[in-house]
Amino acid sequence: MNRLTSCMAALLAAGSATAAPLSLSPGVLIDSAEQMAIAVDPNGYTNRLNLTDGAIAWKSAEKVYPLALADGILLGIGVPDGPGTANLIVMRPATGEIEDRVAIDLPESVSANVFPRPKRRFAASVLDTPEGMRIFWRHEYAELRGAAIMEIDSEGNEAINPMTVLTGAFDFVRDGDRYYAVPIRGAFEEPSAPILALAEDERVAGVPGVQYRAADNTHALVSAASDHAVFGSIWTWTIYERSGRAKGGYRSPYAYVPYVVSGDHLLIRDQPIEYLERGTTVARTTRLVSIDLANGAERWSFDVLDQEYRGPLPP
């Protein structure tokens, strides 16, 4: 397999800029060479967007959550037939046409549903390996109850309403014109969490403060807080090239969100926020946002699926 998009690899990769697709965040893929973004909308459909103006080139005919772009295909995960199964979907990035489907077996207690639900979460990510694409899945589950009950967790420790965690992995391989998912039976190493702040030997020289790496590791973000009448505080970002040249900036209620620079614009996966403005509650959803680096103005935005459950829980 060629170099591919993954939820972790792009953040951990070191080296010079690459035209390869990358994962900005789970459910949001960026391909600067093709000037496209692949993003899942709040209803669970995959969309191809033009990076220039945010126009939608196509929308998937069924609910598909995008995982990776590699070897000319878009790999996603569809709606499961039921507990204990998952449906991998191979699509053509240019048209959104479905090329193949691959069913995989999971433990009976696992529901491969990426939509946010209380006390339950399913996530999948992809990494490049010598064998090809390796798909990792993780399922977290806890009893939905209002009372706080002390139990023994999976590691033998006492915990209040502990979370049960199950994980697994598959190698996704191609044989002729068909794709197959081969389960990893032995021990495997899960993807590690990305290190967002640049280490001392990675930092842009002469720039003080915490430096946050870009998704492709080619830029650094430094943010500084100041008072703000609406948000309480606002963060002014400055984006630096690795050479030390300031590329531009943006103002955000957050010190950092996942980002990448594509040409003269900044792409971010903005976080949801609610605030009062002139006595009125304003709610901003999770978004993919394109920002003009020259002046910090938003060019376009696209609402994406928020996988955090933010609804009510039992009393």
pLDDT (tens, 9 = 90+) of the chain, 315 residues, equals 333 333 333 333 333 344 579 999 999 999 999 999 999 999 999 999 999 999 999 999 999 999 999 888 999 999 998 899 999 999 999 999 999 999 999 999 998 988 888 878 999 999 877 767 899 999 998 876 656 666 666 666 766 667 888 999 999 998 888 999 999 988 888 888 789 999 999 999 999 999 999 999 999 999 999 998 878 889 999 999 999 999 999 999 999 999 999 999 999 999 988 877 777 888 888 999 999 999 999 999 999 999 887 777 665
Query: Among 2, 8, 33, 29, which Cα is nearest to 19's?
Result: 33
CB within 8 Å of 52: residues ≥ 6 apart: 35
Predicted local distance difference test score (pLDDT) of residue 27: 95
> What pLDDT does residue 307 have?
80
The answer for 54, left when phi > 0, alpha when psi is -120 to 50, beta otherwise, is left
Nearest C-alpha neighbor of 218 from the set 266, 286, 255:
266
Q: What pLDDT score was predicted for residue 8?
A: 34
Half-sphere exposure of 152 (CA within 13 A, CB side): 2
Domains contained in the chain, CATH given = 9-146+158-183 (2.40.10.480), 212-303 (2.40.10)
Q: Can you give the pTM of this predicted structure?
A: 0.86
- Torsion, CA 309, CA 117, CA 289, CA 44, rounded to 10: -160
